[in-house]
Chain A
Amino acid sequence: EDQVTQSPEALRLQEGESSSLNCSYTVSGLRGLFWYRQDPGKGPEFLFTLYSAGEEKEKERLKATLTKKESFLHITAPKPEDSATYLCAVQTGANNLFFGTGTRLTVIP
């Protein structure tokens, strides 16, 4: 059974304190792994797509990496505006996108 697990469920960081969020998956035939950011009361906002193990992508203070079993979202020197829920999703079939339950990040000034 296809499964996506994100950890931790919640993370509190001091401003400037770097950390990583984890997304582990067990799926058959991974076509892509996606990271989204979701602010309270809003829809998810696309961040990255990763397609193959070893791939990395960066955007400002965020860097996403992918291995055969998991993906990490590294946050370097976070700011309060990085506070949000970060969602991971994997795509297996043509239109099957499975989302994890997210990591709620709070960055304290």
Chain B
Amino acid sequence: DAGITQSPRYKITETGRQVTLMCHQTWSHSYMFWYRQDLGHGLRLIYYSAAADITDKGEVPDGYVVSRSKTENFPLTLESATRSQTSVYFCASSRTNKNTEAFFGQGTRLTVV
């Protein structure tokens, strides 16, 4: 199916564990983004990627790692999960860097206990 998909939709993990959130898009969009959404903060950019093997930090990158070996995939890894990383994570993609028509995935609700 065409679109942008995130997996898993829900995840519970323990403090200190490594966890990877997956994002896959079928449009061959150049740009991909990871956001987190928390009450009272709105969506905040964690990392973005302009193309395969090109990534850069956003507003709140600490504690996260990304990679982009293929255009269609943009996984987000929490190297050692903390409770403050409990959030809803959204992946997005867009054809250009202007976010003009960014398409968002359904989100991953992550709980760190």
Task: Report which A residues bind B (CB closer than 8 A).
Answer: 4, 31-32, 34, 41-46, 49, 87, 89, 91, 94-102
**B48 an interface residue at 8 Å Cβ cutoff?**
yes
- A73 to B43, alpha carbons, bound, how many Å? 19
**B84 an interface residue at 8 Å Cβ cutoff?**
no
Given contacts A31-B98, A32-B98, A97-B99, contact A45 B42 (CB under 8 A): no
Residue of A with least CB distance to B100? A49
Task: Report which B residues bind A (CB closer than 8 A).
Answer: 31, 33, 35, 40-45, 48, 50, 56, 58-59, 90, 92, 97-107
Given contacts A49-B100, A91-B98, A95-B97, contact A42 B107 (CB under 8 A): yes
Residue of B with least CB distance to A97? B99
Q: How far is the CB of A5 from chain B (nearest CB, A)?
A: 10
Chain A residues whose C-beta falls within 8 Å of the C-beta of B101 in the assembled complex: 46, 49
- A6 to B52, alpha carbons, bound, how many Å? 35
Chain A residues whose C-beta falls within 8 Å of the C-beta of B99 in the assembled complex: 32, 34, 89, 91, 95, 97
Question: Could you list 30 A-B pairs, sorted by A, with CB under 8 Å?
Answer: A31-B98, A34-B99, A42-B106, A43-B90, A43-B105, A43-B106, A43-B107, A44-B104, A45-B104, A46-B103, A49-B98, A49-B100, A49-B101, A87-B43, A89-B99, A91-B98, A95-B31, A95-B48, A95-B56, A95-B97, A95-B99, A96-B58, A96-B59, A98-B59, A99-B35, A99-B42, A99-B43, A99-B44, A100-B42, A101-B42
